[in-house]
């Protein structure tokens, strides 16, 4: 009789450990992290920002679910102190760690770290987005230098999170091997094998459906412009500020080429250029003195030093104070941003030289040069 009871105690049954919301949270968060790394190029900024918002929303949900969710996902169910973590790690080193149906002590600390880092990455991303790009809910809260600092902190935190993710993956692999169970499969199906009598959590499938509906609706709304754009009318996800304009400047300067906004060069460059208007890149502009004064006043008043856009701020800081450059293409920032573009691109009929900014920048005429407004013409290869 005692032997039969012992055998019954050893019987294992399938127990639902991870409910549908927690599984959706896990795998969508993983997808967000991967996509965020793949969209570091500023041309994909709208995708990067969307997955950032989604990542932040998921983490806030996980924090809430940690208080109101079922067993195994509540924070109080995997709250371990350092002594317990240390003892567990010793067990791992001795190849005999105790088995936990939910999060083990080391894994729980990794979860807390990942949630904290993910939230910090989201906040610094919003600060950088608002400071550098002047976009999002925190637009204008920081100036450009502060936004740049938030950007750098955002990147450092992302690298730190990548390190924790790698450690977490190693831990999952080690635990799977030591306990001879597939933890990845468990996070996909939600089930683990355990002794009979263990509590099985509810699936909470309705919450999962609501999560998916919200995410899909948000995605369709965010990317609607891409779905409806045409080759003739490309979608521009972010629009910069409305920059100061001047009809006389636009008429005179735009008569021969695109009117480059004054924010793209410092005041000393425009002053020197207007003083040499009789020999403007080997051409005489034949402007009357009164016209010269009016255009010069507009150019100097709205020059790069004013920091009207991110591009203006970066151009200005890339030029030595003693330099007087007359070409935007000679500024350090312009050279850095275009150094990987091949001669074949510049020579392509749809581009036709370095001064044709509008060939690749949808907002060139506006002078804002938003990161996500860059689009190479069709059949032009970026090498």
d(CA 169, CA 153): 24
> What is the per-residue pLDDT across 367-376, written as a single tens digit (0 to 9) for each?
999 988 988 8
Of 155, 69, 164, nearest in space to 113 by CA: 164
* One-letter-per-residue 3-state SS of the chain: CHHHHHHHHHCEEEEECCCHHHHHHHHHHHHHHHHHHHCCCHHHHHHHHHHHHHHHHHHHHHHHHHHHCCCCCCHHHHCCCHHHHHHHHHHHHCCCCCCCCCCCHHHHHHHHHHHHHHHHHHHHHHHHHHHHCCCCCCCCCCCHHHHHHHHHHHHHHHHHHHHHHHHHHHHHHHHHHHHCCCHHHHHHHCEEEEECCCCCCCCCHHHHHHHHHHHHHHHHHHCHHHHHCCCCCCCCCCCCCCCCCCHHHHHHHCCCCCCCCHHHCCHHHHHHHHHCHHHCCCCCCCCCHHHHHHHHHHHHHCCHHHCCCHHHHHHHHCCCCCCCCCCHHHCHHHHHHHCCCCHHHHHCCCCCCCCCHHHCECCCCCCCCCHHHECCCCCCCCC
pLDDT of amino acid 3 = 39
pLDDT of amino acid 372 = 87
The answer to whether the beta carbons of residues 376 and 382 sit under 8 Å apart is yes
pLDDT of amino acid 381 = 62
Show the tokens assigned to 121: 């990455």
pLDDT of amino acid 1 = 43
Q: How many residues does the chain have?
A: 383
**Where do the domains of the chain lie, and which CATH numbers do they carry?**
13-228 (1.20.950.20), 249-373 (no CATH)
d(CA 208, CA 242): 42
Sign of CA dihedral 304, 306, 310, 314: positive
pLDDT of amino acid 350 = 87
d(CA 362, CA 129): 20
The predicted model scores a pTM of 0.88
pLDDT of amino acid 352 = 87
d(CA 223, CA 242): 23
pLDDT of amino acid 2 = 45
Of 49, 166, 48, 154, nearest in space to 114 by CA: 166
> What is the per-residue pLDDT across 118-140, written as a single tens digit (0 to 9) for each?
999 999 999 999 999 999 999 98
Contacts of 139 (CB under 8 A, 6+ apart): 129, 130, 133
pLDDT of amino acid 36 = 97
pLDDT of amino acid 280 = 86
Contacts of 235 (CB under 8 A, 6+ apart): 225, 226, 228, 229
Note the Cα 174 to chain centre separation in Å.
Answer: 32
For the chain, list residues with pLDDT below 50: 1-9, 383
């Amino acid at each position: 009789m005692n032997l039969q009871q012992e055998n019954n105690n050893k019987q294992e049954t399938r127990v639902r450990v991870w409910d549908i919301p927690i599984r959706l949270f896990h795998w969508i968060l993983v997808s967000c992290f991967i996509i965020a790394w793949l969209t570091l190029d500023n041309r994909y900024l709208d995708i990067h920002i969307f997955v950032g918002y989604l990542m932040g929303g998921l983490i806030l949900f996980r924090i809430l679910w940690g208080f109101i969710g079922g067993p195994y996902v509540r924070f109080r169910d995997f709250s371990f102190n350092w002594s317990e973590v240390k003892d567990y790690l010793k067990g791992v080193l001795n190849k005999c760690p105790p088995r936990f149906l939910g999060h083990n002590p080391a894994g729980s600390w990794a979860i807390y770290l990942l949630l904290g880092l993910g939230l910090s990455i989201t906040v610094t991303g919003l600060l950088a987005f608002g400071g550098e790009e002047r976009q999002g809910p925190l637009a204008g809260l920081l100036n450009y230098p502060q936004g740049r600092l938030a950007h750098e902190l955002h990147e450092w935190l992302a690298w730190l999170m990548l390190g924790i993710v790698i450690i977490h993956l190693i831990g999952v692999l080690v635990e799977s091997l030591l306990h001879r169970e597939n933890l990845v499969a468990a996070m996909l199906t939600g089930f683990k094998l355990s002794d009979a009598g263990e509590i099985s959590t509810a699936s909470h499938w309705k919450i999962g459906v609501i999560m998916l509906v919200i995410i899909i609706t948000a995605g369709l709304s965010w990317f609607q412009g891409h779905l409806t754009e045409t080759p003739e009318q490309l979608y521009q996800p972010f629009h910069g500020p409305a920059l100061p304009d001047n009809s006389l400047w636009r008429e005179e300067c735009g008569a021969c080429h695109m009117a480059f906004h004054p924010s793209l060069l410092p005041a000393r460059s425009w002053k020197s250029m207007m003083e040499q208007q009789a020999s403007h890149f080997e051409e005489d502009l034949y402007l009357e003195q009164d016209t010269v004064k009016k255009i010069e006043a507009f150019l100097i008043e709205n020059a790069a030093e004013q920091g009207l856009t991110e591009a203006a701020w970066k151009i200005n800081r890339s030029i030595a104070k003693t330099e007087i450059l007359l070409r935007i293409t000679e500024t350090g920032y312009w050279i850095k941003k275009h150094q990987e573009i091949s001669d074949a691109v510049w020579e392509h009929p749809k581009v036709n030289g370095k001064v044709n900014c509008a060939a690749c920048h949808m907002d060139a005429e506006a002078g804002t040069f938003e990161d996500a407004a860059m689009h190479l013409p069709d059949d032009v290869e970026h090498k």
